[in-house]
Amino acid sequence: MSHGWPSAPAVYEIFAWPWLTGLSRRYGRDVTLGDVPPEVWDEVAAPGVDAVWLMGVWERSPAGLALARTNEQLQRSFREALPDVRHADVVGSPYCVRRYRVDDRLGGPDGLAEARAQLRARGVRLVLDYVPNHVAPDHPATAGHPEWFVQGTPEDLAADPAGWFTVDGRVLAHGRDPFFPPWPDVAQLNAFDQGLRDATAAVLSEIGGQCDGIRCDMAMLLTNEVFARTWGRHAGPAPAAEFWPHVLDRVRERHPDLVLIAEAYWDMEWTLQRQGFDFCYDKRLYDRLAGEDAEAVRKHLAADRDYQDGLIRFLENHDEPRAATALPGGRGRAAAVAIATLPGATMWHDGQFEGRRTRLPVFLARFPDEPADEDLASFYRRLVAAVAAVRVGEWRMLETRGWPDNPSHRDLLAWSWHDDTPRHLVVVNFSGRPAQGRVELPWPALAGRSWQLTDLLDGRIFEREGDELAGSGLYVDLPPWGSHVVTLR
């Protein structure tokens, strides 16, 4: 990338409202974005964190809040996550946006500006949200610019009352993606409308003046193919131009250094990269790390480097189960080492390091009390800090070899990074059983010298002869889910 961001940044997602609620309880006073104590920003801007994504800072919809407080299905999910949930804990969805203005209860625009300044003083960038597919039903545009929305007829409303609603006598669609029922608290924007595209570029440009990066929710829904398939005749004819290139080109005219992140599914990552996004969610890798084996992961990582550089890897975020439940124990640590040392960006989630197990519904303003896993937190602190200097230069997948009576090397994932010197090597046993093998190293120049291998995760030092490393490779013997992140000097 041509801007000042690292080529492989680590982004730390914070669910802003419950995070501030927790700080208010910790300090015994109301804490907003504008008066977060300096020591908290020091904790957030830990070594190895390049950017903080403050998720959910925009003004939420009163109409959406009213629905959340009366919808029994939502209420059940609130009680499951927060058994002592109170009326005041339900604050509405951050993806039911009424205005792209920071909610005054979180500190307003001035509070956000102060938060950004505090992060910038610590060398950390700020990422914010944008929701391109829909807005709140009481967003001013539903009445002022109905042409920006997917519109229907009274017959549509009668046939599918859950999919449509009325504003000033017009029938508008509730937002949806093609595989799920409509979301009852939002209005569907029409990606084919030129006025909506221009308005999107304007809002994104305004947001871009308040941050260093923007994460675009469900970005693949706005591509011409997906939108036409979802809405058919209600969308009208598809324009010749795609939605995102038109919008993002205009945004970058004003903010050339802005990083744009796409939430992407359905193997749409390459499409969205070509349409202008710097990073796209790597959901396929998440699924393979959570439920498949080393071979599935290895095949996924065979893609071209250009493609991998444009992915953002994660083990959890606000939409996924907590990693402590989805990837418990050693599997989670092995997967964390993998995503932290691969090309592309890495996304961490507030509470992941401490082993939180409850995925909080986005409507809530308070986390449940959960004990921290101090051993896991220590592991993550070491990992995040250690790998900051690893992902530099040439990245290469490495072959492993075993023996006829011991094929366990197939459970080993191995890759290297090399930018002149030093050289870095990552080996992960992605299995629940011990694994041994030899890792073929790509550096013939190792021969003729002795080498010191320092494991950045636990500080152990190994001495190896270069002739062996360059010839038969590095012998490794790893316990179940074990790993090495080593520097060769």
Residue with tokens 């993998």: 338
Q: Give the pLDDT band (50/70/90) at residue 3.
A: low
What is the model's pTM? Answer: 0.96
Q: Would you state the structure tokens that stand for residue 210, as one six-digit string?
A: 């308040």
- Buried-state track 155-169, b at ≥16 Cβ within 10 A, e below 16: eebeeeeebbbebee
- Name which of 262, 162, 188, 281 is nearest 219 in CA terms: 262
How do residues 341-364 score in pLDDT, each as one tens digit? 999 999 999 999 999 999 999 999
Q: Widest CA span of the chain, in angstroms?
A: 82
- Distance set, CA 489 to CA 218, 400, 451, 462, 465 (Å): 44, 22, 6, 11, 12
How do residues 283-329 score in pLDDT, each as one tens digit? 999 999 999 999 999 999 999 999 999 999 999 999 999 999 999 99
How do residues 188-244 score in pLDDT, each as one tens digit? 999 999 999 999 999 999 999 999 999 999 999 999 999 999 999 999 999 999 999
Q: Give the pLDDT band (50/70/90) at residue 4.
A: confident
